[in-house]
Chain A
């Protein structure tokens, strides 16, 4: 559910403004918003202050520098945020920049060296490859250096031609003959599928006309790096190959040098960053305030349950020099920030909802729906005791591994654990243990419900998938109706109601046709479907005859889409059986290898594909009936503050 929010207005004397901002920042519970209505002429914005603006710019620059430095620290060496609730004073950004400056220069130098090496590693193969292939074509030229070629009054050029067609080389040869007559040598060889490498030897005195011709024809000239240009062709290729061999070690050394330089400073930079970010956030907050001649006004949102705490804390910290007004927002107010808060089991699913979008304020939070259905669908698709156990342990391990470092991955691990538990349940119902291994071991079909790969199981499995789809889609439609009623949108409400009536009517007719319902239900079912259809058609106005049926077909398509629960599950079960058949086809040692390989492959697919499919069924088929995104996430003022115990004294401005 969405946490109920309330809007608070904090009013106090101008003289206590700085302290009020600091205390509000420390508390970290209010999502600040622009104070006062635009039409309220009694409130003014805070006057411009160039000193403050300059300080803000300095802090922004400092933050950029610190972020760049911290990005060079390997993730494993990155310092964790230090606990503490220190309110930053006025940070001296210049002193901080001066403190980091000597290291910054050294880091820049090392990073530049590293980047040059990396660029060389990328560029060098582009020279070596064509030249290596050209060497055998010009053996008489290969051992002559530039100096020796100059003595012979000859120049050379290595060229790369994009091979649009086979005539490119002959066209170039024809052009050169026009310019130089017989006074040149051109040899060519394919470098890869789309390029041809060439060596052109020509008289030194014809250099200008040759280069002019190459420029006019847009021929790419491979200019060797300076350090190789004086060597013979063969010497240059050998030197470049040797350099290629040495480069990985050189890059590794340069990376190590950067790491050794930045790691010892990482904790200090993190501390500076936190302090500067906190200070900057407070400066930016000033833009949201409004003033009268003697008082300041701040406004923001916070969970309704925390208003009293805020009132007591601010009153105590500001010695009673503050007044807090509370105003309940309108039922539908797009300005209200959104904070999801669900029962503990459903909390990991909030990340999956936000993965799609943040729900609009006052709309429905689908986390609980996901909590109920997503693991169930995952379990139906995997439906194997063996895979379920492995996925369960993998999920538990990942949950512990990412408990602190990556909250989103921790949440997804929890979802995997939940899904694996359902896989165990359906594994027992379907009688599957690594496909048919369980069946082979015990010697009989131990499925409590049905053995999925069996021929007789196809029909009930499809019906089961459709039934899940009906429940899920109808739940989405009902939630959509509830939300439309809440938002007072009668057209949407009637549209959803019409769709629901048509669905009930159609499925009742199907039930009667399949002899599952009494024949007396036929007439009311047809009547319901007709009423629903007319409702949907009439709501779309003139386009109703087209849009109405399309919408209903779309909803039926949504329900059919749940057949993937059966399709993906059957594919997984059959792959497991194929793995077992292949494992038994050869000697035992080979069987173990082959079986392990295919079951591992199937397990990887079982962990990924059912999760994506279950997510899709929620996002597309169910959420489309009620979910409204576009909400503003709740970010309390001071949330980013992860400052350590104290800012180093050397960089604190004395006050």
Chain B
């Protein structure tokens, strides 16, 4: 494996890893608020799951960048 391939792998890992960190931070806050809301109104469970799942798009975009890095470089 040459150094270029290694750098590509590191870049791909960073793209997913950093996006996951951001997503995790957002989900932590949303999740805490959502659990509070569900405790008050259990019928909000569906919408709470939806709100918690929204930041996951960040990781998917990170994954898209990582995949493009691997496929195109």
Chain A residues within CB distance 8 Å of chain B = 355-357, 458-459, 462, 557, 560-561, 563-564, 566-567, 612-613, 615-616, 619-620
Tell me how far the C-beta of A175 lies from the nearest C-beta in chain B, rounded to whole angstroms: 39
A564 and B60 contact, Cβ closer than 8 Å, known pairs A356-B46, A356-B47, A357-B46: yes
Tell me how far the C-beta of B64 lies from the nearest C-beta in chain A, rounded to whole angstroms: 5
Cβ contacts under 8 Å, B7 to chain A: none
- A566–B68 Cα distance when bound, in Å, is 13
- Shortest 5 CB-CB contacts between residues of A and residues of B: A355-B46, A616-B53, A356-B46, A567-B63, A619-B50
Type the 1/0 row for B17-59, where 1 means its CB is closer than 8 Å to any CB of A: 0000000000000000000000000000111011001101101
Cβ contacts under 8 Å, B45 to chain A: 355
Taking a contact as CB atoms closer than 8 A, the residue among A357, A459, A560, A612 that contacts B47 in the complex is: A357
If A458-B71, A616-B56 are given as contacts, then 12 extra A-B residue pairs at C-beta distance below 8 Å, sorted by A number, are A355-B45, A355-B46, A560-B64, A561-B60, A564-B56, A564-B63, A567-B59, A613-B56, A615-B53, A616-B50, A619-B46, A619-B53
Q: Is B57 touching A557 in the complex (CB atoms < 8 A)?
A: yes
Q: Is B70 touching A458 in the complex (CB atoms < 8 A)?
A: yes
Interface magnitude class on chain B? 10 to 19
Chain B residues within CB distance 8 Å of chain A = 45-47, 49-50, 53-54, 56-57, 59-61, 63-64, 67, 70-71
- A613–B60 Cα distance when bound, in Å, is 11
Q: List 13 A-B contacts (CB under 8 A).
A: A356-B46, A459-B71, A560-B64, A561-B60, A563-B64, A564-B56, A566-B63, A567-B63, A612-B49, A615-B53, A616-B50, A616-B53, A619-B53
A356 and B57 contact, Cβ closer than 8 Å, known pairs A458-B71, A459-B71, A560-B64: no
Q: Is B60 touching A563 in the complex (CB atoms < 8 A)?
A: yes
Tell me how far the C-beta of A362 lies from the nearest C-beta in chain B, rounded to whole angstroms: 22
- A563–B61 Cα distance when bound, in Å, is 8
Tell me how far the C-beta of B65 lies from the nearest C-beta in chain A, rounded to whole angstroms: 10
Cβ contacts under 8 Å, B61 to chain A: 557, 560
Tell me how far the C-beta of A82 lies from the nearest C-beta in chain B, rounded to whole angstroms: 28
Q: Report the nearest A residue to B54, measured CB to CB.
A: A620
- A561–B46 Cα distance when bound, in Å, is 19
Tell me how far the C-beta of A629 lies from the nearest C-beta in chain B, rounded to whole angstroms: 9
Cβ contacts under 8 Å, B71 to chain A: 458-459, 462
- A619–B60 Cα distance when bound, in Å, is 17
Max chain B Cβ within 10 angstroms of own Cβ: one of A462, A567, A612, A620: A567
Cβ contacts under 8 Å, B46 to chain A: 355-357, 619
Q: Report the nearest A residue to B50, measured CB to CB.
A: A619
Cβ contacts under 8 Å, B53 to chain A: 612-613, 615-616, 619-620
Q: Is A620 touching B60 in the complex (CB atoms < 8 A)?
A: no
Cβ contacts under 8 Å, A560 to chain B: 57, 60-61, 64
- A613–B67 Cα distance when bound, in Å, is 19
A356 and B67 contact, Cβ closer than 8 Å, known pairs A564-B60, A616-B56: no
- A458–B61 Cα distance when bound, in Å, is 16
Q: Report the nearest A residue to B45, measured CB to CB.
A: A355
Q: Report the nearest B residue to A558, measured CB to CB.
A: B57
Q: Is B49 touching A615 in the complex (CB atoms < 8 A)?
A: yes
Max chain A Cβ within 10 angstroms of own Cβ: one of B60, B61, B63: B60
Tell me how far the C-beta of B35 lies from the nearest C-beta in chain A, rounded to whole angstroms: 16
Q: Report the nearest B residue to A564, measured CB to CB.
A: B60
- A563–B45 Cα distance when bound, in Å, is 25
Tell me how far the C-beta of A353 lies from the nearest C-beta in chain B, rounded to whole angstroms: 9
- A27–B50 Cα distance when bound, in Å, is 38
Tell me how far the C-beta of B37 lies from the nearest C-beta in chain A, rounded to whole angstroms: 15
Tell me how far the C-beta of A561 lies from the nearest C-beta in chain B, rounded to whole angstroms: 5
Q: Report the nearest A residue to B72, measured CB to CB.
A: A459
Q: Is B50 touching A567 in the complex (CB atoms < 8 A)?
A: no
Taking a contact as CB atoms closer than 8 A, the residue among A355, A458, A612, A616 that contacts B67 in the complex is: A458
Cβ contacts under 8 Å, B49 to chain A: 612, 615-616, 619
Cβ contacts under 8 Å, B50 to chain A: 356, 616, 619-620
- A171–B70 Cα distance when bound, in Å, is 62
Tell me how far the C-beta of A479 lies from the nearest C-beta in chain B, rounded to whole angstroms: 19
- A560–B19 Cα distance when bound, in Å, is 15
Q: Is B60 touching A567 in the complex (CB atoms < 8 A)?
A: yes
- A486–B1 Cα distance when bound, in Å, is 60
Cβ contacts under 8 Å, B70 to chain A: 458
Tell me how far the C-beta of B71 lies from the nearest C-beta in chain A, rounded to whole angstroms: 5
Max chain A Cβ within 10 angstroms of own Cβ: one of B45, B49, B57: B57
- A575–B4 Cα distance when bound, in Å, is 26
Max chain A Cβ within 10 angstroms of own Cβ: one of B45, B50, B71: B50
Q: Report the nearest A residue to B59, measured CB to CB.
A: A567
Cβ contacts under 8 Å, B60 to chain A: 560-561, 563-564, 567
Cβ contacts under 8 Å, A561 to chain B: 57, 60
Cβ contacts under 8 Å, B63 to chain A: 563-564, 566-567
- A8–B12 Cα distance when bound, in Å, is 64
- A616–B70 Cα distance when bound, in Å, is 27
- A357–B50 Cα distance when bound, in Å, is 12
- A356–B49 Cα distance when bound, in Å, is 9
Tell me how far the C-beta of A549 lies from the nearest C-beta in chain B, rounded to whole angstroms: 18
- A524–B63 Cα distance when bound, in Å, is 33
A462 and B67 contact, Cβ closer than 8 Å, known pairs A356-B47, A612-B49: yes
Tell me how far the C-beta of A363 lies from the nearest C-beta in chain B, rounded to whole angstroms: 17
Tell me how far the C-beta of A623 lies from the nearest C-beta in chain B, rounded to whole angstroms: 9
- A462–B60 Cα distance when bound, in Å, is 12
Cβ contacts under 8 Å, B47 to chain A: 356-357
Cβ contacts under 8 Å, B59 to chain A: 567
Tell me how far the C-beta of A512 lies from the nearest C-beta in chain B, rounded to whole angstroms: 19
Cβ contacts under 8 Å, B54 to chain A: 620
Cβ contacts under 8 Å, A357 to chain B: 46-47
Q: Report the nearest A residue to B57, measured CB to CB.
A: A561
Cβ contacts under 8 Å, A615 to chain B: 49, 53
- A615–B56 Cα distance when bound, in Å, is 13
Q: Report the nearest B residue to A462, measured CB to CB.
A: B67
